[in-house]
Amino acid sequence: MTNKDFFLALDALEQEKGISKEYFMEALQAALATAYRRNFDVVKPVEVELKPEKNSISIYAYQTVVSEVLNPDSEISLADARLIKKTARLGDKIKEELSPKEFGRIAAGTAKQVITQRLREKEKTSAYGEFENKVDTLITGKVNRVDAGIVYVEFPGTNIEGIMNEYDQISTEKYNVGDRIKVYVKKLRETATGVQAIVSRSNAGFVKKLFEIEVPEISEGVVEVINIVREVGYRTKIAIASRDPNVDALGACVGAKGVRVNNIVYELGGEKIDIIVWSNDPFEYIARSLSPAKVISVEIDEITKSARVIVPDDKLSLAIGKGGQNVRLAARLTNWKIDVKSESKAVAEATEAENHTDVDDIGGIFSGTEDINLD
């Protein structure tokens, strides 16, 4: 390849990829200098100058002019420098042009490596910038492959690959190649092969974004999501609050005839959703958190941040949930330790206690909870 052909190739690359040749030239100059030193055993520093306007490639060995020479290979005294160049000053480079015999093949291979690397870097940077605003959002992709439990998702029109690890999947779902799925973008990461998006369907952010899509009042900030807890594939509890006294937060999230929440349940593959209206009154909030069970009373100990909840006998299993799921989620939602008792057991314990000693009541009683059951 002649020098002219080399620069014409850079011009063509600039037009085709929209990347200026200057982006490649700095890296090319450094790589060509290193390649020359390595292949021709040059001990002095080497500098390569690319001049597109003249279609020239020049290679120089040089020494830097210093007041005291410590490394003769890279440094030269001022006196010796002035024997070569009368106007030499400290800090100047005294150059010696090298004849790059048989360097064409090496230069071509080096240039190819540098250009390929720089193109990859540019593509990664562009891809990262293109997808950066997708973090913490939902995006629809297509399952490209499933390997060792990891689902790989492609996003048409981008060079980004989505990675959904097993813990980010809904355990009750099966993913097949070609399936179109919505995913929540947790973060981006750069790898040797490109940019990957770490995506999820199990993250609480996935549910939150579904509600933002279905409920305009949430996306507009009128209704606030206070907390979301999930046992993925089985049940979600979401606590909400209205910032506008004229807006019914629960009604907004449920929608006419339940259409809004039902759309979310469908996307989650039938996962149950309990919508809890948040309250700064812990008695009320804890009682609501046990939805869909009805609650008779709540007693709290603020020191230990624990609560004792009394429910009707026939609602005990509902309040606790299968394997303790319901009360466990309620505790996570409220950040209170919750102990659920049936009414008959609570009465029996109270009677036994009265027979032994007088016990002062602690906490308070809350009745008439506003239960929300969207099962």
Residue 153, domain CATH: 2.40.50.140
Q: Check residue 320 and give its pLDDT.
A: 95
The DSSP code sequence of 342-361 is EHHHHHHHHHHHHHH-----
Q: How many CB atoms lie within 10 A of CB 374?
A: 17
Range of the domain at 363: 282-375
Q: How many CB atoms lie within 10 A of CB 78?
A: 15
Domain boundary among 198, 230, 245: 198
How many structural domains is the chain composed of?
4
Q: How far apart are CA 290 and CA 286, in angstroms?
A: 7
Give me the CATH number covering residue 207: 3.30.300.20
Q: Cα-atom radius of gyration of the chain, to the nearest Å? A: 35
Domain boundary among 235, 261, 278: 278
Q: Please check whether residues 61 and 108 belong to one and the same domain.
A: yes
Helices (H), 233-307: 249-254, 259-267, 282-289
Q: Please check whether residues 243 and 181 belong to one and the same domain.
A: no
| Residue type at 87 in one-letter notation | T
pTM of the entire structure?
0.67
Cα end-to-end span (Å), the chain: 73
Q: Check residue 127 and give its pLDDT.
A: 64
Q: Check residue 369 and give its pLDDT.
A: 36
The DSSP code sequence of 185-247 is EEEEEEETTEEEEEEESSSHHHHHHHHHHH-HHHHTTSEEEEEEEEETTTEEEEEEEESSTTS
Q: Please check whether residues 261 and 308 belong to one and the same domain.
A: no
Q: Please check whether residues 267 and 286 belong to one and the same domain.
A: no
323 φ/ψ sector (left φ>0, alpha ψ -120 to 50, else beta): left
Task: Assess contact for 154 and 226: CB atoms under 8 A.
Answer: no
Q: Check residue 305 and give its pLDDT.
A: 95
Show the tokens assigned to 29: 């100059």
Q: Please check whether residues 170 and 141 belong to one and the same domain.
A: yes
Q: Please check whether residues 262 and 297 belong to one and the same domain.
A: no
Q: Please check whether residues 80 and 31 belong to one and the same domain.
A: yes
- List the strands of the sheet with 297-301, edge to edge: 297-301, 306-311, 337-342
Domain boundary among 79, 101, 130: 130
Q: Please check whether residues 85 and 163 belong to one and the same domain.
A: no
Per-residue pLDDT of the chain (375 residues; tens, 9 = 90+): 467 777 787 788 778 777 777 777 878 888 888 888 888 888 889 888 888 888 778 888 899 999 999 999 999 999 999 999 999 999 999 998 887 666 777 777 777 787 777 777 776 666 677 788 889 999 999 999 999 999 999 998 787 889 999 999 998 999 999 999 999 999 988 877 778 899 999 999 999 999 999 999 999 999 999 999 999 999 999 999 999 999 999 999 999 999 999 999 999 999 999 999 999 999 999 999 999 999 999 999 999 999 999 999 999 999 999 999 999 999 999 999 999 999 999 888 878 767 765 544 433 333 333 333 343
Q: Check residue 332 and give its pLDDT.
A: 96
Give me the CATH number covering residue 55: 3.30.1480.10
Q: Please check whether residues 240 and 348 belong to one and the same domain.
A: no
Q: Please check whether residues 140 and 209 belong to one and the same domain.
A: no
Q: Check residue 102 and give its pLDDT.
A: 67
Q: Please check whether residues 267 and 305 belong to one and the same domain.
A: no
Q: Please check whether residues 287 and 353 belong to one and the same domain.
A: yes
Q: Check residue 365 and give its pLDDT.
A: 36
